[in-house]
A and B are shown apart, each in its own frame.
Chain A
């Protein structure tokens, strides 16, 4: 991560090294099945609020910033309505205090009112003893949706991401449900 006050231009990898956060913050190359297996749920939801918190921790360090998005929607695994707070590293509490995170979703991705698909996993400690529903694979776990004339479309991010190409929401929902059932069977 890169502190705003320290404006040494750094490459994204160097910023990650300086971040010292858990490996979940880095972008894993996953397909959809792998993403479903590794996460607790996938939501199709609207972002209804956003907040940035700061944690000063004795062990993990001072000035740990996390963005918390409140998502209201439904689970693509179970179909149940859900309101979940999903967290990822980075963000600013005010104009000057915070960090940019090269792996975080973009500002366009997390605008209030956006409808997104988000994959998350519960962590006991995401850093600084923060227990939360952690956005899996940072921006690789969040996908914007758009309303096309033929229905909602989930915008993919390219090769190596769980959702590579743009996909109709209905098809994605089917794929996630199917993948989740396959995953449950394998566990049994």
Chain B
């Protein structure tokens, strides 16, 4: 074999080499991080296949190519010509130092600085210049260099080994990305979580390189480490999956976190991310560290990193265009298949080299069996990869999916939420709305379609709409309702990336045979490119659920930036996101729509294309970003359910710098001030009660409200009115509501009720009844307002009317004892013949009821008992037990 004997070591030269290498590594890392960030300008990653349209947010493939370019850059520039000139290689400690510096660079640039700093023009320009210099120096001959230090003993990298390393790099990139995507499911999808996992991965790799540096000083050990890398990395991934399996359950995850003095609330925090990442990535990172420490020179590192780059670039197209065995296995399993192939190639290459270099026939005979069994070494690796399927185990409500598919796109499920409705999730993100977001979802679609009807020229052709997302009955009915109102023909198509699973998913969200099947993603893209579609809509996604102090209704994180924008050509694209999505500092462009059922369920649509700014469109240009965003580390340190407060307020502050006729800038500014007020509240309060209100801000909002109020302003005030009643703030309602009613001559039921509720709190039943009576006649009152109105009429002595109202309430809730009791009292006070029988019925329904003495008094002879006169805030008898 071609090996060189070591000369006497020169320690001072080696130390200088290490330092020089470290300095170079830091510069390479800085440029590589910037390149990587170019592919992620928002930090948010569009999942593969969700990107039917392309545009401002890079499609997954483009993002992947930038990330791959970063890896290639490292491979080409990490070792300069002087290092390459050495016959020997850098020691493992030097590699360990480099890895540590990479981790540091990513931590500083990726977590401490904010993402917009990295992609600022100045930063990009500086990185390009530095990158060019590094590329030049990587290939330039060193000038006037002192004599190189004695090389370590080493072995040549044969073509077969290069191919093996390339395939191994490809395989481990796919496998590790798949594993990381699975580890990411123990989080909320914030991009900073991924960056922190990367830092931890590299730090552990550095540790591994350093820990094994002694062993790797032996050339035989280095050769083994290189050639067997796919084998031990694959094994490490398999073991990691086994280590993650116990964490897929609520109790297992809790026990694991508590062993580190943490709890379920640390999910999504730096500590939580670090613990889960360490658990899931420790062994693979250690293995990668050993592998990289064994390379030591460009001839070995470059094919490995080229393979890795290809693995990164190929991942977005892997699910669709590469079906290695036609199965639905997750990417980590797919990657391990590739690792096996890499293992075999490496082993074959090494053994071939060894065989060819051995002159003695007797010794050759010994290698012959090895050549035969080498391929068989890959067989035991046949992965029955443990099934790792975390269904947000940090939540107290444990999901029990009725449909589960582990697809190359990710973990696809259909499961009931805590509210009982089925939702489709992909990697724990809700692809269809749950009950709380159903109305907002339909309003988003409706607002998108209204853009068409307000701006589309009347023509004889059919207007074609494409929904980039899962069709549901609600979404289809929204389209049908809109379609029936139009004077032109229209057609709705839909497309989803989970094409192979869609026929199993559809029955959960449609009535059989009612809707047409989806079109393929390829057909959708071709249709968009040809201008077949007039409008492409991507609706907002939500999730995963966040551990919060309230068990009943855990909040959802804001979901994905789903899809890009700018479909191009004549197609208008609208991409919707929840207003809690942190896009305030994002370099996005487009025109803004807002739609939602209330402040908590408000979405922003970014529209591009010819219809988005046509006359009649109630949109406005998205203003420039607010400025620098918070650092990733600061975001991770903020509790997930509290991040939304600041994100939403900053978004509205950004929007308020433009506005339009439909979205008054002063109103948006007032809304931003209101949202900036929000703080953490007691977990036992109702959602509306948790809202912080300020009278001055409310007054500013009122002054900014138009005459008559726009649809958006009505939506906001409807929610604020509800909050004023829920929080029992009659003084504010008393001041604000009349002014709003003056601006809405046609009436405004929600505001009228809020004012009536204030009169009730003030013990002014006559004034309350004047407002509630027309609402009652128009059947606008829900159950509690009906009871309140009946109480008003009773307090004014109008018992027949009170009985009539309570009869309607009782018809809505016939199983409610307290309503029957109120009705019985009203009928008795009104002198109705049905009164005594109603009293007896109420007594019989609840023989042990605490109000029975009060009811029995009505059956006694003599004057009737005095009826209640004050306002009871709990008319159904519920206690304010928090």
Taking beta carbons and an 8 Å cutoff, which residues of A are in contact with B? 2, 4-12, 27, 100, 102-104, 106-108, 139, 144, 146-150, 153, 155-161, 164-168
Q: Is the CB–CB distance between B263 and A165 below 8 Å? A: no
Q: Is the CB–CB distance between A108 and B684 below 8 Å? A: no
Known contacts being A7-B263, A106-B689, A108-B689, is A165 close to B870, with CB within 8 Å?
yes
User: Contact check: which of B689, B727, B868, B881 meets A12 at CB < 8 Å?
Assistant: B881
Look across to chain B and name the residue whose beta carbon is closest to the beta carbon of A138.
Answer: B882
Q: Is the CB–CB distance between A158 and B549 below 8 Å? A: no
Q: Is the CB–CB distance between A106 and B682 below 8 Å? A: yes
Bound: A185/B356 CA distance, A = 114
Q: Is the CB–CB distance between B873 and A158 below 8 Å? A: yes
B551 contacts partner chain A, Cβ-Cβ < 8 Å: yes
B773 contacts partner chain A, Cβ-Cβ < 8 Å: no
Q: Is the CB–CB distance between B872 and A7 below 8 Å? A: no
Specify which chain B residues have a CB less than 8 angstroms from the CB of A149 in the assembled complex.
762, 764
User: Contact check: which of B548, B728, B881 meets A9 at CB < 8 Å?
Assistant: B548
Q: Which 7 A-B pairs have the closest CB atoms?
A: A158-B874, A9-B551, A165-B870, A7-B265, A148-B762, A166-B871, A165-B872
Q: Is the CB–CB distance between B879 and A160 below 8 Å? A: yes
Q: Is the CB–CB distance between B870 and A147 below 8 Å? A: no
Bound: A146/B730 CA distance, A = 8
Specify which chain A residues have a CB less than 8 angstroms from the CB of B881 in the assembled complex.
12, 27, 102
Specify which chain A residues have a CB less than 8 angstroms from the CB of B254 in the assembled complex.
8
- Annotate B545-563 by CB proximity to A: 1 below 8 A, 0 otherwise: 0011111101000000000
Specify which chain B residues have a CB less than 8 angstroms from the CB of A147 in the assembled complex.
731
Specify which chain B residues have a CB less than 8 angstroms from the CB of A6 in the assembled complex.
263, 265
B880 contacts partner chain A, Cβ-Cβ < 8 Å: yes
Q: Is the CB–CB distance between B874 and A157 below 8 Å? A: yes
Distance in angstroms from B730 CB to nearest chain A CB is 5
Main secondary structure of the interface of B (DSSP, over half): loop
User: Contact check: which of B550, B762, B882 meets A146 at CB < 8 Å?
Assistant: B762
Bound: A63/B631 CA distance, A = 32
Q: Is the CB–CB distance between A12 and B870 below 8 Å? A: no
Given contact pairs A9-B549, A144-B728, a sample of 6 additional A-B residue pairs in the complex whose CB atoms are under 8 Å apart? A8-B263, A27-B881, A100-B549, A108-B727, A153-B763, A166-B871
User: Contact check: which of A139, A157, A164, A168 meets B763 at CB < 8 Å?
Assistant: A168
Specify which chain B residues have a CB less than 8 angstroms from the CB of A150 in the assembled complex.
762-764
Report the count of interface residues on B (CB-CB < 8 A): 40
Q: Is the CB–CB distance between A148 and B263 below 8 Å? A: no
Bound: A155/B729 CA distance, A = 10
Distance in angstroms from B697 CB to nearest chain A CB is 15
Specify which chain B residues have a CB less than 8 angstroms from the CB of A155 in the assembled complex.
728, 761, 873
B159 contacts partner chain A, Cβ-Cβ < 8 Å: no
Bound: A160/B877 CA distance, A = 9
Q: Is the CB–CB distance between A7 and B882 below 8 Å? A: no
Distance in angstroms from B759 CB to nearest chain A CB is 9
B396 contacts partner chain A, Cβ-Cβ < 8 Å: yes
B681 contacts partner chain A, Cβ-Cβ < 8 Å: yes
Known contacts being A7-B265, A9-B396, A157-B873, is A107 close to B550, with CB within 8 Å?
no
Bound: A150/B767 CA distance, A = 13
Q: Is the CB–CB distance between B871 and A102 below 8 Å? A: no
Specify which chain B residues have a CB less than 8 angstroms from the CB of A27 in the assembled complex.
879, 881
- List B residues 634-684 near A (Cβ within 8 Å): 681-684
Q: Is the CB–CB distance between A159 and B763 below 8 Å? A: no
Bound: A147/B549 CA distance, A = 34
Bound: A161/B878 CA distance, A = 11
Q: Which of A102, A159, A167 has the most CB of B within 10 A?
A: A159
Specify which chain B residues have a CB less than 8 angstroms from the CB of A159 in the assembled complex.
872, 874, 877, 879
Specify which chain B residues have a CB less than 8 angstroms from the CB of A12 in the assembled complex.
684, 881-882
- Annotate B56-83 by CB proximity to A: 1 below 8 A, 0 otherwise: 0000000000000000000000000000
Q: Is the CB–CB distance between A11 and B870 below 8 Å? A: no
User: Contact check: which of B549, B764, B879 meets A7 at CB < 8 Å?
Assistant: B549
- List B residues 707-730 near A (Cβ within 8 Å): 727-730
Look across to chain A and name the residue whose beta carbon is closest to the beta carbon of B878.
Answer: A158
Q: Is the CB–CB distance between A166 and B550 below 8 Å? A: no
12 contacts between A and B (CB under 8 A): A9-B552, A106-B682, A107-B685, A108-B729, A139-B882, A144-B728, A146-B762, A158-B874, A159-B872, A165-B871, A166-B870, A167-B870
Specify which chain B residues have a CB less than 8 angstroms from the CB of A139 in the assembled complex.
880, 882
B264 contacts partner chain A, Cβ-Cβ < 8 Å: yes
Specify which chain B residues have a CB less than 8 angstroms from the CB of A106 in the assembled complex.
682, 685, 689, 882
Specify which chain A residues have a CB less than 8 angstroms from the CB of B762 in the assembled complex.
146, 148-150, 153, 166
Q: Is the CB–CB distance between A161 and B730 below 8 Å? A: no
Bound: A6/B681 CA distance, A = 15
Distance in angstroms from B585 CB to nearest chain A CB is 24
Bound: A139/B730 CA distance, A = 20
Bound: A153/B685 CA distance, A = 23
Known contacts being A102-B684, A159-B879, A165-B868, is A148 close to B763, with CB within 8 Å?
yes
